[in-house]
Structures are given as structure tokens and as C-alpha cells.
Amino acid sequence: MGIPAAIPLPDAPRGKSRAAGSNPFMDWQPLVDEQSDAIEPALEALGPKIGMGNKKVLHYGTGLFSLCAEYYCNHLHINLVLVLVAAYPSKYLSPEPHLEITAGLRMRVIMGMAKALRITPWTPIEEVAELLRDFTMARKPAYMICMFGRAATADGAKEVDEVLSLPPNPGEDPARHTLSGILKVLSHGTKDDKVKMILDLHRRHFHKSAEELRNVLRRAGVPANTLALVETALALCVDCRRWRAGAPQKSRCP
């Protein structure tokens, strides 16, 4: 499915009238040629995988995710954590259940048709919460790309890099222990693979508590269903169980 060439951009929500300026996402800007020339082929390649009215979740390491990070995040010091792509959507795409909506989360949208893709500014998620709930497109765009990210800090980025850097054990595949390999397992692996990876991260980084490790993984863009496995993984730590049994004070592991 290629990108149709005659689908207009959406305007007002059906059944509602909004005051001018009440929708932060109405401040559209056209994509510059260089960006449009790169984004359009990526969208066309994804087209057959999405299907009419459906969406696709993109995590760290995929082609379109990398383009979004390069063009719209890195120079603005935004950590991109999730990208959603949809064909002919009737609503803006909510990050839930793939990503928790928390303070500091921001959203940016690319929408339109071939040769007419436009983009919104980065907007705090709380300013568009109502739109995510009840905005209905009067005219559906051919494609929508919704980006979700958080402002990066030097200390936070360093911590993510340090935690998500595991030298492979003897006999293990080195590719699974690169940053992209770790995030691929944590995003798309089986439940057992995710639990094992979380436990490895915990053990090799001074037995971080569940809260500390979950915060680092959240900043790296790990999906919510994986974050929910942190306590399960840490409960398997033999060293922490031994410490809890023999030490007078509580281990750092919950």
C-alpha cells in the first residue's frame, strides 16, 4: 500500500467546534525536503504491514524510529522512547498501553499524504490529554506518525548508557548485548527472555533496586509491559535473597 496522493489533512473534530488555538496540534509546519524524502519511502515500506485503520508500534532500532530520532529529537535533547504509525487513523494515537503516561512525556505528530507531510511542535502530554481521549478526525489522513519522548539530561543519558551496556558471558551472542540488542529483547523478546535480561542488568550493576532499574529502563524507552516484570526478575536474584535472609537490614532488592 503506497501513500495515496489525494487525502486531505484533518481539520476540526467531528461534532465539536474548538476555539482557535485550543488544539496545540493545529500548528502544522511542512517537512523540509530532505526529511520528507527520507520519511516517505519508510512510510511506503511500512504500508503493507499496517493495514487500513490499524497501527504499528516501533521501538528502538527500527529504520523509521532512527529517522525520527535523527531529525526531530537528538538536536533538541529529546530522548525518543516510542513511535506509533497508523494508516487512515480516526484519532490521534495514545501511547498507552505501550508506554506509561507520566509527567515530562512529550508528543509530536507527523501527518498527511505523499508530498504533503506536515509536523507539529513537541507538546507536553498533559496539554493534549483531552485530544487523545475524544478528538475524532472529520477527514482521515493517509498516515500518522506519533512520536513520544522526554527531555534528556546529561546525567540521565549517561546512566542509561552505563546500565544498558553488558559484556556477553562466554558462549553468548555478542549482538544481544549491544544497546540495540538489549532494547530489542526488552521490547520484543519472550517473557522469559525479558526476565533474564532484566536480571542480568540488575546483577551486573550493583543490584539496583526495582525502582532504580525501572526508572532507567523507562528513560530508555522500554515498554510498560516489560517494566511490569522488574519485580518478578529481581525476586529471582539469589544473592539478594541470601542477603535478606542473613542481614539485619533489608537488602536493596525488594
Asked if residue 94 has pLDDT above 60, the reply is: yes
Note whether 53 and 100 are same-domain residues. yes
Is the domain of 63 the same as that of 178? no
The domain containing residue 75 runs over which residues?
24-151
Asked if 179 and 142 sit in the same domain, the reply is no
Distance separating alpha carbons of residues 97 and 224, to the nearest angstrom: 7
Mean pLDDT across the stretch 216-229?
Answer: 79
Higher pLDDT, 2 or 207: 207
pLDDT digits (tens, 9 = 90+) for 4-24: 333 333 333 333 334 434 566
Average pLDDT, rounded, for the chain: 76
Q: Are residues 147 and 181 in the same domain?
A: no
Residue 112 domain flag: yes
Q: Is residue 36 part of a domain?
A: yes
- Same-domain pairing of 30 and 146: yes
Per-residue confidence (pLDDT) for residue 235, from 0 to 100 = 92
Q: Is 64 helix (H, G, I), strand (E, B) or coil?
A: helix
254 domain-assigned = no
> Both 80 and 180 in a single domain?
no
- Cis bond before residue 97 (omega within 30° of 0): yes
Q: Among residues 151, 183, 218, which one ends one of the domains?
A: 151
Q: What is the percent of the chain with per-residue pLDDT over 90, rounded to a whole number?
A: 11
d(CA 126, CA 61): 27
Q: Are residues 133 and 66 in the same domain?
A: yes
**185 conformational bin, left if phi > 0, alpha if psi -120 to 50, beta if neither:** alpha
Number of domains in the chain: 2
Beta-ladder partners of 37: none
Q: Among 112, 135, 151, which residue terminates a domain?
A: 151
